[in-house]
Amino acid sequence: MFFQMDVHGKIREVLAETIREELAPEHQQLSTEDLIKALRQRGIIDDVMKELKFVTDVNEKVRTSAPKPSTHFVDREPPVLEKTNIDPTRRYLYLQVLGGKAFLEHLQEPEPLPGQICSTFTLCLHFRNQRFRSKPVPCACEPDFHDGFLLEVHKDSLGDRSKMMDATTMLSICDPVHIVLIKTDTFGETTLVASYFLEWRSVLAAENGITNVAVELLGVGTESKVSVGVLNVRLEMYPQLSKMLSPEVTNTQFALEHQKTAEKERLFLVYAKQWWREYLQIRPTHNVRLVKIFAQDENGVNHPVCSYIRPLRAGRLLDTPRQAARFVSVLGYERAPVIGGGGGKQEQWCTLLAFLCRNKGDCEDHANLLCSLLLGFGLEAFVCVGTKAKGVPHTWVMTCGTDGTVTFWESLTGHRYIHRPINPDDPPLVEQPKPLYPYRTIGCIFNHQKFFGNCQPSDAVEVCVFDLHDESKWKPMSGEAIKSVCPPGTTSSVPPFPPLCASPIDAAITSNEIELQMRLLVSEHRKDLGLSTVWDDHLSYLLSPALAAYELERTTSISAGNEEFQDAVRRAVPDGHTFKGFPIHFVYRNARRAFATCLRSPFCEEIICCRGDQVRLAVRVRVFTYPESACAVWIMFACKYRSVL
């Protein structure tokens, strides 16, 4: 993967030759030094060092606050590649994925023909603020993964970070390697297949500092007990450790950590039960309120809800809280899948890596991410758990201003609503504020440090007062109890947050591609109706400012530039002609799917199927990219024709 020349082959040849020459006379033992000397003499080591260029994606240079040398490479289109050097004073874990087996769901999958588009598997990894992505491989019973990742093992809390770490120090780093397996179908739709936490420290006690692990991946959600396949993983420390640990030492450390976490979680559970009993004693009707203390992740494991939130800084990728809300809203929305009918809601609060790599998730995933980003921007933010119309459970985000202003943020749309409570004790003639938000009831609110249960007489949002210091309105949980199971007070069983990555999508290229596809689809559709199509390139270009203004308005709530757009259109449309335009917004890049949706709108269909004298058509596509693979796609269809009355 790293080098063009067949290094392994050359080394094997030299070793065979050395053993023949050196050992023939008197079968003595050859040391590692002898073999390295032989390799040096033949110039192999120099060749390897020349060839060993770790490639990193320039897009990936955007890291979170602490700058760390980036030594990984990410397979992306279009890649902007540059060489990075390995720091010889640091320790690295070289993780190789050498194929997969027993992915039985793909047993009948036919071999893809060359050039044929097929479903693919991609592995996404996160380890201590570093993120990696494998090359996509065709889905098969034995997927052909062949990737190497160089993970830097550093310890932030040690003063002397430049010092080479020994095995004992590394044993104290309990962050796992989080591996997420994503399936992408032929239409570009993603599915979360598996989410696995790899305990890498077994390599510290492995013979020769190398260990091979068969990682059994289990499914997610309702299939979290079902095996989906096995990955062959090889772990190796680089440079090699001079002194290995014994397996007893590593196993004792793992057992102690597990015991400590389990005990903290047990104590929190005892406390939570006591808190819930007290909450029910306030008012028996509290048992129907949506007070959520624990939630299941994609692997079906329960965690305190507070551990799903952490202040998240987006580096230079997002500039404002409102831009963060826009970013979260353009990540796809998809309810967790349920097998069978019944209309029940499958609960699945995804870990952040799984949500970002899949590029879509449920409303809880969106709310948790938005709350974390708003906390990162220094706001006092909470996730609210309650219901929308018709009693549908929902989560959204709330911020409390220093002046007491309460703002609701809808994470699925980016909309913001100021909350002004209605006072039910006011006389009938007093004018009450009319709520614009879609929320009906609220059961609890929480963030990474606080949890409050709503104990006001009514849980209706419109009469709710958010005086969080008043324990007669909001029953708090002990901050110490929350700190005991949530970072930074403890190592949580929910993994650390990965940093956000810059967008891999080229906005201009993608906009052009979708626009060309749209033109073809419109022309084909009109041809089927027996209509010819004449495109007006100038009119198409004039639609750009409108699309830019729509996106600006979604992000900032400020409308700008409409006068110039209208003036330009008036000049482009001669007297006696009619102009019609229709903008539409998507969060995916599948042109055919977008076109089918457009045709369902009578306004849009009227433009696309326009008949008349001197009909000229225009279409403009503008893709706005956000971190990860999130993007807002704006499309505007327009036509001008001579009005015949």
End-to-end CA distance of the chain: 69
pLDDT tens sequence across 251-308: 999 999 999 989 999 999 999 999 999 999 999 899 999 999 999 999 999 999 999 9
Spell out the CATH class of 255-336+347-486: alpha beta
Find the mean pLDDT for residues 354-359. 94
Q: Which residues pair with 581 in a beta bridge?
A: 638
> What pLDDT shows up at residue 71?
42
Pick the closest to residue 197 from 486, 476, 494, 424 (CA basis): 494
For helices 544-556 and 562-572, the axis angle rounded to 10 degrees is 160
Query: Which residues are 116's β-sheet partners?
Result: none
Q: Phi and psi for 386 in degrees, rounded to 5? A: -165, -145
- In this structure, which topology does domain 507-642 adopt according to CATH? Pathogenesis-related Protein p14a (3.40.33)
pLDDT score of 68: 43
Mean of pLDDT values over 477-489: 85
Mean pLDDT of the region 516-531? 95
Q: Is 414 left (phi over 0), alpha (psi -120 to 50) or beta?
A: left
**SS3 labels along 361-387:** ECHHHHHHHHHHHHHHCCCCEEEEEEE
Omega cis (within 30) before 488? yes
The CATH code that applies to domain 92-245 is 2.60.40.150
Q: What is the DSSP string of 161-228?
A: TTSPP-HHHHHT--PPEEEEEEEE-TTS-EEEEEEEEE-GGGGGGSGGGEEEEEEEEE--GGGTTSEE
Reference 590, options 34, 190, 262; nearest CA is 190
Calpha distance 204→215 (Å, rounded): 18
Considering the chain, tell me which residue range(s) the CATH 3.10.620 domain(s) occupy.
255-336+347-486
**pLDDT, position 36:** 64
pLDDT tens digit string along 99-156? 999 898 877 777 777 777 889 999 999 999 999 999 999 999 999 999 999 999 876 6
**Are 424 and 456 in contact, with CB atoms under 8 Å apart?**
no
Half-sphere exposure for 624 (CA within 13 Å, toward CB): 21
Q: Answer yes or no: is pLDDT of 1 > 60.
A: no
Q: pLDDT grade, residue 320 (50/70/90)?
A: very high
Please list, in sequence order, all residues whose beta carbon lies within 8 angstroms of the beta carbon of residue 160, skipping any fewer than 6 positions away. none
Question: Which residues, including other chains, have CB under 8 Å from residue 516's CB and lie 6 or more apart?
Answer: none
pTM of the model: 0.84
pLDDT at 6: 61
Start-end ranges of CATH 2.60.40.150 in the chain?
92-245
Per-residue CA distances from 247 to 205, 260, 603 (Å) = 5, 20, 69
Query: pLDDT of 446-462, one tens digit each?
Result: 999 999 999 999 999 99
pLDDT at site 309: 95
CA angle 210, 258, 485 (to 5 degrees): 125
pLDDT band of residue 505 (cuts 50, 70, 90) is very high
Question: Residue 2's pLDDT is what?
Answer: 45
Q: Where in the chain is the domain with CATH 3.40.33.10?
A: 507-642
pLDDT band at 62 (very low <50, low <70, confident <90, very high): very low
pLDDT band at 9 (very low <50, low <70, confident <90, very high): low
Q: Assign 67 a pLDDT band (cuts: 50, 70, 90).
A: very low
Q: Given CA atoms 316, 321, 327, 331 in this order, what sign does their dihedral have?
A: positive
